[in-house]
Each structure stands twice: as structure tokens, then as C-alpha cells.
Structure 1
Amino acid sequence: MLNFDAVIFDMDGVITKTATVHSLAWTKMFNEYLQSREKKYKEPFKEFTHVNDYLPYVDGRPRYQGVDRFLKSRNIDIPFGDANDAPDAETVCGLGNRKNEFFNKILEEDGVELYDSTIALVNELLAKGIKVGVATSSKNCDIILGKAGIQNLFQTQVDGVVSANLGLKGKPEPDIFTTAADNLEVAYDRAVIVEDAVSGVQAGAKGNFGLVIGIAREHNADELKDNGADIVVEDLSQLSIDEINKLIAAKKVTS
């Protein structure tokens, strides 16, 4: 007997190997901006890095929220602006839009790679009648899944565009996951969340889902576990449907 009815996957770093592309685009955009501030405002340049800046302030969050959080970490105060700002505008939204230009350029040149183990699990779930959804902060979800040719695998897609339209709060709030579960008509305690970002496992824990699986792509197993993941693996090839089912049963006994 199955203890769950659906699995909801994050996209970048879980389904697709695009987390690295995001990190590269953020790094290029922020370092160019910080260098421009050095020239314009005589501020000492301090490099934006993957470990010290991308992971704690940007990873897994909606684009403009990521810009805002990082700038605040450096005590940089600029206007928020709006989503229609040009990529050269010195606003939170302008910087976010500039990052997106860099991201799309890299994506166009390099294409989209998939985690084969994730796709294998998705297909096994569907074969057993378990519902599958994708929930991501990315506004590029349509483009990425379309380029990868896998949009047909997911019965619901809650992304950055949907979040903006519905006014959903970004991670670490659970809104995108609860909305995906609602769309699938599945109770939260009968749904599994799969995430690779700290903000994502925090969101899964806040939503009281049946199980939160963390994928430690960044050698951050302890951090994922400490922030809400019930189980942490390096890759989904380490888990079977039967093992997921047993983990949910064990969690119910101990909770």
C-alpha cells in the first residue's frame, strides 16, 4: 500500500542541470555591477562568489528577491523598480532582468542537460499512477522544460510566472508546493517534495508534507538536513519508490 499520491520536484538542480547555469549568470551580472559601483561610487570591489553569496542569498529564490537579499547583504540600497525595467537600469528588477539575459544566452548556446536518475524516477512514478508536478521559482520553466522536451511528464507546473500572477510568496514559504499539491488534488501529507536548495527544504518543512527529500548537489547534506529535509541523498538513484514509501511510514510513526 502506498503512503503517498504525488511527488513535486523542484527544477534547477533536481530535474535539470541548470543550477550551475544560474550561478554563472548571477556571478557575471553581479560582478559586472559591483565593478561598475567601484568606478562610479569608489566602493571597494568585493567579488560575488558561488559559496559565499549565491548559495545563501540567491539559490532557490525568486529572481528579484535574490537580487534584493544579496544587495542588502552588502548594504547596497537601490530602487526596486518593476518587472518592465530595462536590463541596464540600476534597480533591483533591472539587475534581475540583466541576469536573465545572461542566463538565456548561456542556455541558447549550451542547451539543457537532464539528471537521468530524476527522469527515470518520474517515469516510474507515472507508471505506478503516482502524480508528478514541478514547482520552481524560475520564470524560465517553460523554456527550459520545452528545450529538454519533458513538459509532458508533469501534471502541474507552478513556476515564477504562475507565482507572480497568483501573488504567491517565494521560498522559504511553501506556497509554490502547496499550490502544486492543490492543483494535483492531493493532501499535503500525501505529497513528497524533492529539493536541492536550503530555501526549498525549508519551504517543504513549513508545508508539513509527507516527506521532504534533499539532494546535496553542493556537498551540503548537513545544511539541508538541519533546515528541514527528512532524508538527504546525493542523487535520486539512491532512492526507490519502495524506500520513499517506507520513509513516509516511518515519519508518520515518529511524528
Structure 2
Amino acid sequence: MELAGLGRFSAVLFDLDGVITPTADLHMQAWAGLFRPLFEAEGVAEYTDADYFHFLDGKPRTAGIGSLLEDRGIAADPAKIDELGEQKNALFLDLLSRGIEPYPASVRFIDALDAAGVPKAVVSSSKNAGQVLTAAGLRDRFPEVVDGARSASLGLPGKPAPDTYAYGAELLGVPSAEALVVEDAVSGVQAGAAGDFAGVIGVDRGAGEAALRSAGATVVVRELDELL
């Protein structure tokens, strides 16, 4: 298959949150629900949406928590970081239980790939990727899902390293050089740019076009059906 500005490719590797489903919004709410009261109690600078995009978006949960706490000068051992991660996950799952609708434009893009016989996989840092796809009614559209739990069990470094995306291409039986990466997070775009992939589609859900291009996006769109 070929798309304008991207050339030919034979597979597509999708991030999930913020690309296929608006779960990035739920993650933002859950992180805010975790960190705002914590930072207030610690007497440090308040939590903002900028913290989400800089420290948390697209990264493994514990890595993001550790880097944000370090930025605020809050000491935390691995057990405390794990505890905070579980608290955040509980907040997220509560929000997810109310339902989630995928982005219509992203579904149209997925439909076009299916019509063209292009294999695809989801590669997400989230350990809840399967639950999110099920809640969105899309689980059967992706035969391969590389989520945070699967990559951790294999010892694969998370984004911005390219390893999880390379593994996704391997599962599809496609050389990474023939696979497109689709991402909305700066760390995810960096992961695609760091690997030998056919290109990186940046979906601007708030990170900003300039930031996504600077991270290595081949093209940047607001909605994926702009590419059709």
C-alpha cells in the first residue's frame, strides 16, 4: 500500500491511547487525580497537563512516575512507585468502565487497511491495551497486541526505545523497514524514528506538530483519514 508523503509499506504498527481511542484523555484525568493531591500534600509545584506530555505520555507507567517525582524532588523507592502506579491504574479503569468510543477517523483508516489486506498490530505501553480495545469494540481487528505486560515479560525496553515496535513487526512477519509506526506521543514518535521503520505518522492530539516533527515524525495529521 502507498500513502501520500509516506511511500510504500506493508504493515502498520499503531499506538493505542490517543491514536485509536481517546483513552489518552482518560489517562490524563487519572494522572491528574493521582498527582494533584500528592503534590499539594508535598508542597511542591502543582501538577499540570504539561507534566503529562513531558514525563508520562507514551512511557511505561513506573518510568514516568519515577521521572516526574524526581523532577519535583520527591524521593520514592520502587515499592512506592509501584503503589502509585496501581493507584493510577485503578483510577483509569474506573473511568474506562464508563465506556470508550474510538476515533471515527481512525476506524476509517483501519477499515481502509483491512480492505487493502495490510496487516496491523497495536503496540502500547499500557498494560490495559486489550481491555481498551475490547471496550472500544475493536479487539478482533488486531490479531497481535504488544502491551506493557507483554513487553515487560520479554524484557523489552519501553518507548522511546524502538524495541516494542520492532517486536510488533516481527509478530506480523514483516521487516521493520516495511512497517509504518502511528503515534501521538513524543516518546512514541522518538521510538519510531529510532528504528528502521518505513515512516512515522504523528497524530497531533495535543503534543503539537512542531514537537512531533522534531521527535522524528515523517508526517503529522490531526486525524488519520486525512491520509486516505
TM norm structure 2: 0.95
Match in the other structure for 2:5: none
Identity rate, percent: 41
After superposition, where does 1:117-128 map in structure 2 within 5 Å?
A: 117-128=105-116
- Matched residue of 1:208: which SS? coil
Equivalents in 1 of 2:93, 2:26: separation in Å?
A: 9
After superposition, where does 1:1-255 map in structure 2 within 5 Å?
A: 3-37=8-42, 44-51=43-50, 53-81=51-79, 91-109=80-98, 111-218=99-206, 220-240=208-228
Equivalents in 1 of 2:128, 2:214: separation in Å?
A: 29
- Matched residue of 2:120: which SS? strand
Q: Which runs of 5+ in 2 are unaligned?
A: 3-7
Aligned CA RMSD, in angstroms, stands at: 1.2
Equivalents in 2 of 1:61, 1:79: separation in Å?
A: 19
1:177-220 Cα offsets, whole Å, 9 max, x none, are 00100000101111000000000000000012101000111160
- Matched residue of 2:97: which SS? helix
Equivalents in 2 of 1:21, 1:219: separation in Å?
A: 16
Moved over 2 A (4+): none
Contact 2:100 2:135 in 1 (8 A): yes
* Residue-pair matches, total: 223
TM norm structure 1: 0.85
1:104-136 Cα offsets, whole Å, 9 max, x none, are 111113x11211111111111111111111000
Pairwise CA distance, 1:36 = 3.0
Contact 2:180 2:200 in 1 (8 A): yes
Equivalents in 1 of 2:173, 2:211: separation in Å?
A: 31
Q: Which runs of 5+ in 1 are unaligned?
A: 38-43, 82-90, 241-255
- Matched residue of 1:213: which SS? strand
Equivalents in 2 of 1:68, 1:130: separation in Å?
A: 38
The residue identity in structure 2 corresponding to 1:46 is A
